[in-house]
Homo-oligomer: A and B are copies of this chain.
Amino acid sequence: MGTVRVTFLPNQESVETQPGKTLLEVAKQAGIFVASICGGDGICGKCRLIVQSGEVDASPTTLLSREEIQAGYVLACQTRVIGDVDVLVPPESRGEGAQILIDQDAQRFRALYPTTAEQAFYRHDPLIQKLLLDLPEPNLQDNLGCRERLYREIRRHLDAPVMQMGLKVLQALPTLHRDKDWKVTATLGRRGGTLEVIQVEAGDHARRNYGIALDIGTSTVVIHLLDLTTSETIDAEACYNSQAPFGAEVTRRIIYAVREGAKVLRDAIVSDINNLISTLISRNPVELNDVTTVCAAGNTTMLHFLLGLDPSGIRKSPYVPAALVPPPVRAAEVGIKINPRGLLYVMPSIGSWVGGDITAGILATGLSQTDRLTMLIDVGTNGEIVLGDRDWMIACATSAGPAFEGSGVKCGMKASSGAIERVEISSEGRVTAQTIGDVKAKGFCGSGLIDAIASLFQAGIIDRSGNLLPERSSRVHKQDVQLEFVLVPEERAEAGRDIVVTQPDIENVLRAKAAIYAGAKILLESTQHRFDDIEQLFIAGGFGNYLDREKAITLGMIPDIPLERIRFVGNTSLIGAKMALLSTEAYERCFEIAKSATYYDLITYPNYYEEFMSAKFLPHTDLSLFPSVAQTMHNDAMSANGQPTRGTI
C-alpha cells in the first residue's frame, strides 16, 4: 500500500502517511496543532479544516453547516485521507498548542497575580532553604564525622529533630568540607516532619535559591519563578495544557488513560512544565541548578497524571484516588528538570473532585481562618465551591463543563489574544465588544460569553429560558436548523466568518451556570444558611482577568448579594501554591485544610436535579432569589411599554 502526502496550509507543512488515517491523526503525526476538545470523537466540532484539493472521505456531521461543507470545511477527526491532500488550517482551529503564550498574553497572566502581600499572613520560611554554615575546623578533641558535624551545625540554626540525607550527598561530603575555608551551603527541604539535606555545596551559595509555583489547570498551565530568599516573583509564564487533544475534561482524559495508558498524558504535562521552566530560565539570570523547589497545585486528576498515579478510581464510584496527599518527591523522578535533587511538592487534595487547587484557593483567600461566612467559587471546567469559615468547611464540585474556558461553544476560545472578553449590547441591539490585546476578534473567552448572554438577556434578545428571539434583533439568524446571534460579523472578524453565539451555546452556558448556582445553593441549604448570610464571596478562575459581577448575577451564575461582598480573586490555585512555596507554615496549613474540609457529594442531595433545573433559567425560576435582577427587569419592562413583559415564564 503506497503512502499519500498531506500538506497543511498556510505553512506548507507536508507529511507522508498511510491512506485511511484521519486528518487529525495526520496533523498529530506532523506535529501540527489542530484544536480538539473531544479527543477525536466527532462531538466538539472544533477540529475544522478546509480541504483545498485532493480526495478525502468525510463522515456526515451536523456540526458543519451546508455552506461550510460546500466551502470545503471538514472535521479533521471524521475525515480520512484517500489520496494526496492540501488542507488549510483556519485561524480558529489553530490554537497555540503547547506553545508558550507570548507578549501581552503572558503579560496579562503576570499582571493578575501581583507580588504583593499574598503571603503576608505567613512567616517567610520556604519549603526548601539554603543555609550558609561556618563549620568549625575539626581537631583531635572535636573529630566527629563530616555528616555529624554538618547535622550539629544545622541544628544550631534550625529545630530539626529528624534529619535525612541521601547516599549521594553523603558520598560527596568529605571533599566539600575541606574546601572553601570550611564554609558550606546546605540545601534543606521539608519532607513530612523530617528535614532532608538535599545538597551541600562548598562556599556561600545561600542566596541562590529559586522556586517554581505551578498551577496545572485542565486547560492552562501557569508557572511563576520565585526568588526564595527575597520572596520576589521574578517572572511568569503560561501555556495551554497539551493534554487537550486527549479530552477537554478530566473524565475524558481518565478514560483515555485507562484505555491507552497514562504515560502519554504524563509526558504531555511534564513536557509543558519543562518548556515553561526553560523559558523562564533562559530569560532570567537564574541557573537551572539553583532551582530547588517546585510547588504544584491542580485538581486531583492533574496531580495524578503529573505523579504517574493511577487516576482510574477518580471517576468510578466510590471515587477513591491513589492519593489525596501525595508526599514530596524528587522532581527528577517525575521528569521535571530543575536541580537533580530538588523536590516537587503538591498541594493536598480534599477529595477526588475537589483537588489541591481548591486547597490552595482556601489558603489564598484565607477562608479557613476567617470568622466571616465565606464562599469560594472556582470557575473552571469543573466549578468547585467551598463554603465555611474558621470552624468548618464544606466543598462540592459541579460539572460545569468547559464553556467558561471557551470550549464546547461554537466560537469559544481560551482567554488569549483576540478573545472577546467584554461585551455590551444596548437596548437597541448595538454590540460593543472588547478583545484581549485589542486585536481583531477570533472568538470569545469565558468572561465574554458571560457578558454576551447576560447582555442579550438584558436587551431582551433572549427570554428567561434562553431562547433567542429573532423578532427582537436583526442579528439573530437561522443557520441550518438553529438560531444564532451574530456578535461580530465576518468582515470584522479575524476568523473570516461570523463570530456567533448559538442557541446550543446558550444552553451550554445555562447548564454550566445552573450547575454552579445549584451547587452553591445546596451547600448553603445543607448547612442551614441563606445566600444573604454570605459575608464574602470569592470568584476564582482562569476565564480571564476580568469578571463583570453584575452580569454574572444577571446570568444567575452567582447569587444576588451586595456587590461589595463579591471579589474576583483570579487564579487562587497558583497564589496558594506560591504561598506554600514561600512558607512552610502555609504549606502545613494546607494539610489541615485538606483534612478538615468535608467533601459534599451533590448527587446525595435529594432535590439536586430540581435545584439544577430551576437554575437553568435567567436568572432563575424563582425571581425572589435575584431581587436586583428582578428590579432591573421591572424597570426595563416599565420603561419599554409600561407593562411587565418578562416577569414570568
Using a CB–CB distance below 8 Å, which chain A residues touch chain B?
Answer: 138-140, 142-149, 161-167, 170-171, 173-175, 177, 191-194, 307-310, 312-313, 317-327, 329, 333-334, 349, 351-352, 601, 604
Contact = CB atoms under 8 A, between A and B. Distances in A.
A334 B333 CA distance: 19
B164 A192 contact: yes
B320 A162 contact: no
Nearest to A151: B325
Q: Which of A170, A325, A349, A604 has the most CB of B within 10 A?
A: A170
A352 B143 contact: yes
B318 A139 contact: yes
Given A144-B320, A173-B310, A177-B320, 20 more contacts: A138-B320, A139-B318, A140-B601, A140-B604, A142-B318, A146-B320, A146-B323, A147-B326, A148-B325, A161-B193, A162-B192, A162-B193, A164-B192, A166-B329, A167-B308, A171-B307, A171-B309, A171-B322, A173-B309, A174-B322
A327 B145 contact: no
A349 B147 CA distance: 12
Contacts of A146: 313, 320-323
19 contacts: A140-B604, A144-B324, A145-B323, A145-B325, A145-B352, A146-B313, A146-B320, A146-B323, A147-B322, A147-B324, A148-B324, A149-B320, A162-B194, A170-B322, A170-B326, A171-B322, A174-B309, A174-B320, A175-B310
Contacts of A324: 144-145, 147-148
Contacts of A161: 193
A145 B322 contact: yes
Contacts of A164: 191-192, 194, 327
Given A175-B310, A322-B146, A324-B145, A140 B317 contact: yes
Contacts of A352: 143, 145
A174 B310 contact: yes
A8 to B, nearest CB: 37
Given A162-B193, A352-B143, A604-B140, A170 B327 contact: yes
Contacts of A319: 140, 143
A307 to B, nearest CB: 7
Contacts of A174: 309-310, 312-313, 320-322
Given A143-B318, A162-B162, A322-B145, A333 B194 contact: no
B148 A323 contact: yes
A307 B169 CA distance: 12
Contacts of A167: 307-308, 327, 329, 333-334
